[in-house]
Chains A and B, each alone.
Chain A
Amino acid sequence: MMSDTSQPTIRIGNGAGFWGDNLDAPVALVKSGEIDVLTLEYLAELTLAILAHQRSKDPGAGYVNDFPELLERIAQEMISQGDLRIVTNAGGLNPRACARRCGAILDHANLGHIPVAMMDGDDVLPRLATWSAEGVDLSHMETGQPIASVLDRFVSANAYLGARPIAEAMGQGGKVVITGRVADASLTLGPAAAHFGWDWDDLPRLAGASVAGHLIECGAQVTGGLWSGWDDVADPAGIGYPIATVAADGSSTIKKPEGSGGLVTVANVAEQLVYEIDDPSCYRTPDVDVDLTTVELIQDGEDRVRVRGATGRGPSGKLKVAAVYRDGWTASGMVAVVGRNAEDKARAAGRLVLERVKRAGFDLADSLVECLGANDVAPGVVPLLHAPYEVVLRISVRDPRRVAVERFCREIAPLITAGPPGIAGYASGRPSARPAFAYWAALIDASLVSPRLDVRTAAEWANVEARP
């Protein structure tokens, strides 16, 4: 493959930026015939909590089931495009179960012969207690809080693995690579490094492909999604998901499939370059510490942006562990409040509900009343110029006791008859108490974690035992 830069390239398209993203986007990317590798990034920080909850109810769950469903839809294309490869973190908290399910689907679609790689070793939940007892520092990396106070409440703990085992899986012939927690950018760097045979100390190239991965990891956010000129985006309902054409020197071009909606400009790529980062001179991944401040963006024709100049330093030798622990119960309910004094009325109704819960004997650990429509999304920041005629009252609570939160859930409906007039929206029903989860992030020595690879044909995966 050659591009206008006269360098060999690999075309990597990202078809999902989170679990719950557009189900048709990866299908469109594959059908465009414009990609060599399809990546799917499903695991936001929050996703772990949901997967942990599912796994607690069913030991065979805990992976992103959108992915096997996608394989069913693209199996015919995988046959006609025999070189297409797929890399995804859909394995979530249970990559083995995910590989087993995908194996069965591929086998059924006459793709039983293709190698499917499963990568795990990121799950460190069973080791937290031992590590803590051995004196491994697992303090919260933002707050410095020691882990002891919450140690018995963790439901998941995963180290962010890097691109190296992904590249190794592809080197062993893996056509479909299913991982658990990996750094988002590593989903792109892995296939690029495998394709070009980069050394793991070739920092400018590792940094370059990591920047490409960072730019495409959130899907449509780099092709016109979230763009401030949203009303100028062509065909937003048919928005194209991004393709990074990564060149042998690590530079890349960001584009979208021919004929798709959206836009790719220096301005919206710049917004994505600074999306969800900390210090831009040190964007840390397990593979390389990337300096984003040296990156240049150049418009290279309509809906094409060249990305070059990334530099990097060797990785820190630390891996981030993302963990989730049980933190009581939560619920929130919403109703619309109308009238000339809608905001005051809504706040009074909110206080009334919380007072009822209190008189029922529950002093809630945390509660919040929001008047949406009265600038309460960021309370107090932007002055309210006109009193709104209608607002949405949102009341939320959290408490260690399920029974306290369930009592709150029952106290909204009585507003129908006992609250102020002009409140609507009870028909959506009583809110439900949900388990609340809190997030813990720590840094550990990379040497504590060993990625494991298991490469078998799809047919073999279909028949492996549910438990190793």
Chain B
Amino acid sequence: MIPEDRPIVPLGDLAHTRSGDKGNRSNIGVVATDARHYDHLRACLTAEAVAAFFAPMGIGQVVRYELPRIHAFNFVIEQALAGGASRSLRLDTQGKALGTILLELPLPAPDPVETSP
């Protein structure tokens, strides 16, 4: 369990991201900057947390997939692009900016990582 009095940090302190489109879906790849934070991210960076973060845009369902060997996640977001690349009226028709924006998602800070053995 993560104690409730943990300081809050943006996801960008713990991970880097890349996003793009497939039809009307967007996917956001999230890679832990430090592999030792992967389990912490697995506990906090849930599909529900990402869905709640993007909820104001009117997105659909969010599914999370795990790639533990490269300490990464893939989030697939339904109806993220208001009609898809060739139809959306939005400036970011391809969801290119969504990965960067996700870096603002607030998370509890992880346990301090031991830097010396």
Contact = CB atoms under 8 A, between A and B. Distances in A.
A66 to B, nearest CB: 20
The residue in A273, A398, A437 that gathers the most chain B C-beta atoms within 10 A of its C-beta is A273
B46 interface: no
A273 B86 contact: no
A277 B74 contact: yes
B25 A142 contact: yes
Contact of B97 (A46, A377, A441): A377
Given A270-B70, A274-B27, A293-B67, A226 B18 contact: yes
Contacts, number: 142
Contact of B18 (A275, A294, A439): A275
A276 interface: yes
Contact of B54 (A294, A381, A398): A381
Contacts of A367: 89
Instruction: Give the interface size class of chain B.
Output: 35 or more
B76 interface: yes
Interface residues of A, number: 55
Given A281-B65, A370-B90, A396-B89, A378 B101 contact: yes
B89 A274 contact: no
B29 A279 contact: no
A296 B35 CA distance: 14
Contacts of B78: 142
Given A45-B23, A46-B85, A275-B18, A293 B33 contact: no
A90 to B, nearest CB: 20
Interface in B28-82: 29-31, 33, 53-54, 56-57, 65-74, 76, 78
Contact of A436 (B56, B72, B87): B87
Interface of chain B: mostly helix, strand, loop or mixed:
mixed
A437 B101 contact: no
A280 B67 contact: yes
Interface string A10-30: 000000000000000000000
A166 B28 CA distance: 31
Contacts of A281: 65
A372 interface: yes
Contact of A296 (B17, B56, B69, B87): B69
Chain A CB within 10 Å — which of B27, B56, B65, B94 has the most?
Answer: B65
B20 A275 contact: yes
A330 B18 contact: no
Interface string A377-408: 11111100000000000101110000000000
A368 B92 CA distance: 13
B89 A292 contact: no
Nearest to A278: B76
A49 interface: yes
Contact of A439 (B31, B54, B84): B84
A274 B69 contact: no
A254 interface: no
A220 B40 CA distance: 31
B6 interface: no
Nearest to A140: B23
B21 A276 contact: yes
Interface of A: 44-46, 49, 142-143, 221, 226, 228, 266-267, 270-281, 292-297, 309, 324, 327, 330, 332, 366-368, 370, 372, 376-382, 394, 396-398, 436-439, 441
Interface of B: 16-18, 20-25, 27, 29-31, 33, 53-54, 56-57, 65-74, 76, 78, 83-87, 89-92, 94, 97-98, 101, 104
